[in-house]
Amino acid sequence: MKKALTIAGSDSGGGAGIQADLKTFQELEVFGMSALTAVTAQNTLGVQAVFPMTAEAVSKQIESIGEDMGVDALKTGMLFNAEIIKAVSEKIVIYNWKNVVLDPVMIAKGGASLLQIEAISALKQYLLPLSMVITPNIPEAEVLTDMSIRTDEDKREAAKRLYDLGVKNVIIKGGHDEDGHVAVDLLFDGKEFTTFSSKRVLTKNTHGTGCTFSATITAELAKGLSVWEAVSKAKKFIQVAIEDGFQIGQGHGPTNHWAYRKRNELKR
């Protein structure tokens, strides 16, 4: 049994955060574990309140898992502040965990800040050098690289800058691309660029897409797949999750975490 850990915030609406991560892990048949960084009061309309955990509370949760159960791969989501980022980084070093997927969660769909501004430098200093993969969308990549991203060449330059900060593989997601027909994700491993394209789905029900995408990569790395294989699987998983998404609530509805499995069952 392969085991995956999510270190992230709780989404009371169930579409993102640790809820999305654990649903994804379950669908991909890895055992999911969690270390909670914050509790959010959240729904499809946005984030109404954020209640962060202390850095000590986050550390103790990770210790409980590291000392007993072990981790084959982990992902980070909402980390909120520099103290939590430092605490998480210290535990990753202590337990020598290598399959680390960093989803640099900064802004919620409704616009609420999920990472303090002063924590961005801590993310770059402490966590990026420990990460196997980072999965920013274009606005997040712009913040992390201090540059504007409008063209494919801009994406490549941003990927190079992030790689130079120590992360081993950079994937810049194309959901915010200006192209209205396709979404193109760019993977850079320090030597080669690879693109993953999918037809853009015209829907507002995209809550939790970033969490689900990075959780899929984490689950597949836990199983022993390569980064390229994990990203390829994640692109397919999130595509059908969006295509078969739910209209729940009055705002941005969630994606469908069981869509990939259901489609495979229909093919048999």
Summarised one tens digit per residue, pLDDT across range 111-170 is 556 677 778 889 999 999 999 999 999 989 998 999 999 999 999 999 999 999 999 999
Extended strands (E) in the chain: 3-11, 31-43, 46-52, 73-76, 100-102, 133-134, 169-172, 182-188, 193-199
206 given a catalytic annotation:
yes
Beta bridge mates, 40:
11, 50
- Between CA 47 and CA 109 the distance in angstroms is 9
Q: How many CB atoms lie within 10 A of CB 198?
A: 18
pLDDT beyond 60 at 14: yes
Tokens of 118: 């002063």
**Is 75 one of the catalytic residues?**
no
Report the 10 Å Cβ neighbour count for 195: 12
The verdict on whether 211 is a catalytic residue reads: yes
The fraction of the chain above a pLDDT of 90, given in percent, is: 79
Catalytic residue among 23, 75, 173, 235: 173
> The pTM is what?
0.95
Q: Give the confidence band of 58 by pLDDT, cuts at 50, 70, 90.
A: very high
- With 80 as the cut, is the pLDDT of residue 97 above it? yes
> Which residue in 24, 76, 145, 209 is the catalytic one?
209
Question: Quick one: which of 11, 88, 17, 33 has its CA closest to 55?
Answer: 88
Is 245 marked active-site?
A: no
Active-site choice (66, 210, 245, 253): 210
Query: Which carries the bigger pLDDT value, residue 249 or residue 268?
Result: 249
Q: Please tell me the predicted confidence (pLDDT) of residue 246.
A: 85
Question: Is residue 264 very low, low, confident or very high in pLDDT (cuts 50, 70, 90)?
Answer: confident
Q: Say how far apart CA 102 and CA 78 lie, in whole Å.
A: 10
Answer whether residue 106 shows pLDDT above 90.
no
70 in catalytic set = no
- pLDDT at 56 > cutoff 80: yes
> Is 110 an annotated catalytic residue?
no
Q: Are strands 169-172 and 133-134 parallel, antiparallel or unpaired?
A: parallel
- Per the CB < 8 A criterion, the answer to whether 141 and 106 are in contact is no
CA distance 138 to 142: 6
The catalytic residue among 24, 206, 212, 255 is 206
Please tell me the predicted confidence (pLDDT) of residue 137: 92
Residues 196 and 235 sit within 8 Å (Cβ to Cβ) = yes
pLDDT computed for residue 110 by the predictor: 57
| Catalytic residue (one of 17, 208, 245, 253) | 208
Average pLDDT, the chain: 93
Given the residues 37, 124, 211, 255, the one annotated as active site: 211
Residue 238's pLDDT band (boundaries 50, 70, 90)? Answer: very high
Question: What is residue 91's predicted lDDT score, i.e. its pLDDT?
Answer: 98
